[in-house]
Amino acid sequence: MLVLHPPAPLPPLPPGQTVVLEAGVYRGPWEIRTPGVRLLARPGAVLDGGGQGSALTLSAPGIVVEGLEVRDVGLGDDFYEPDAAVVLYKCEGCVVRGLRTRGVTGGIRVEQSSRAVVENCTLEGTLAAPGLQAYRSDEVVLRGNRIEGFLDNLYVEYGERLVVENNRLEGAARYGLHLMFTYQAQVRGNHSQRNRVGSAIMHGAENRVEVNLFAEEVGPLRYGLLLQEEWKTVLRDNHFARNTIGLLSLDSRDTRLEANRFSSNGTALLFARDTDQNTLNATGNTFVGNLHDLAVDDPRARVVLKGNAFDRAAPLPIPHLPSSSFALLSARQPDLSLFALSPGMLLWEAAEARVPGLRLLALADPEALPASRPITSIAPGLVGLALLSLLGGAWLRS
């Protein structure tokens, strides 16, 4: 074991060496190119990057870094190669645990480093670059991190069988959670809320999204989660709450929506089409307190609803239609959403819910269940959510 005291530099290290950093400030940037090194920081140990590039680069297999605080990295904000607190490059099986940063351009960048683990880190950024980023790395585990104030708080591109779990993602300049071209990723237990746009999973296949919270994404075309050109994605036991749009599906096929809860959104579930079509099976989901439960701007969509619970379900032996004709029309003509809560529209939707001859049964749920209505009535702010959510149709067609 090697014990360092500040301001000692990092010396050449043999394979498998354990290095303990005592409290104090060390001058970087540092690079570790030796496999199996363990860098263990005592409380108060800080690596100062000197404002020059990335502070710590790991480029050999099996390196472990624990408990380190990093500050003063460079200002380079290239999306794929930002100046970061820690960079893992061709660092297979490496572990970064308990890292702390504040005011850094990029947090942790993982590139070509399969089976890497990043867990229990606290990263605060400057909104300029991604916070925790994995690129062309398979079987990576990103767990238990708190990430705030980056361009995308957590960004993954080209990865298979990743695990993204129990992270808290807030205050991003764009996406809280953003996955691109991933296959069989496990996304579970994350909290993504109050970001500039929302979260997105795009151009992937067979991903599983379970027990996450997507909340408080309010503004023009903001959504809890966007699925764009996804295939065979499974969403189960997630909560979409207080968003302009809860879930936006854009050209995503064979989606399974099971046992999710949509509460107090402007539009809970919105389908839109760019070049392809949406296909989805929804079972066992609960819709309560939304201004619109379902809106469709995809004439080719194939949506199957079965056994979902709605607070508007009528106690009649007929299928429940969660999307009114007005919601369908508003998705195509967003300016009509100004009349969403007018007395005439409320009466028309009430009539549709009870008169079979007025119902558009193509999107009906033949086994709908009643759900308890929220105690509070529709708040004025929720009207704004619906107006903003239905403006998305115009943007998607532009």
* Res. 376: pLDDT tops 60: no
* Res. 295: pLDDT tops 70: yes
pLDDT of residue 363: 74
pLDDT of residue 155: 98
Between 362 and 215, name the one with better pLDDT.
215
Contact 158, 179 (CB under 8 A): no
pLDDT above 70 covers a percentage of the chain that reads 81
Q: Which of 161-175, 276-290, 351-365 has the lowest mean pLDDT?
A: 351-365
Q: How far is CA 256 from the centre of its chain?
A: 18
Rounded to whole angstroms, the Cα distance separating 312 from 346 reads 12
Residue the block writes with tokens 């819910």: 353
First CA to last CA distance, the chain: 61
pLDDT of residue 383: 52
Contact 132, 108 (CB under 8 A): yes
pLDDT band at 397 (very low <50, low <70, confident <90, very high): very low
* Res. 377: pLDDT tops 80: no
pLDDT band at 313 (very low <50, low <70, confident <90, very high): confident
What global pTM score does this model have?
0.87
Domain residue extents for the chain: 1-196, 217-398
Q: Which of 181-185, 356-360, 388-392 has the highest mean pLDDT?
A: 181-185
Return mean pLDDT, the chain: 88
Topology of domain 1-196, per CATH?
Pectate Lyase C-like (2.160.20)
* Res. 79: pLDDT tops 70: yes
pLDDT band at 220 (very low <50, low <70, confident <90, very high): confident
pLDDT of residue 193: 97
The model's pLDDT over 94-128, given as tens digits with 9 standing for 90+, comes to 999 999 999 999 999 999 999 999 999 999 999 99
pLDDT of residue 184: 98
* Res. 259: pLDDT tops 80: yes
* Res. 20: pLDDT tops 80: yes
pLDDT of residue 74: 97
pLDDT of residue 242: 96
pLDDT band at 276 (very low <50, low <70, confident <90, very high): confident
Q: Which of 95-104, 127-136, 258-267, 313-322 has the lowest mean pLDDT?
A: 313-322
pLDDT band at 360 (very low <50, low <70, confident <90, very high): very low
Rounded to whole angstroms, the Cα distance separating 317 from 313 reads 11
pLDDT of residue 146: 98
pLDDT band at 318 (very low <50, low <70, confident <90, very high): low
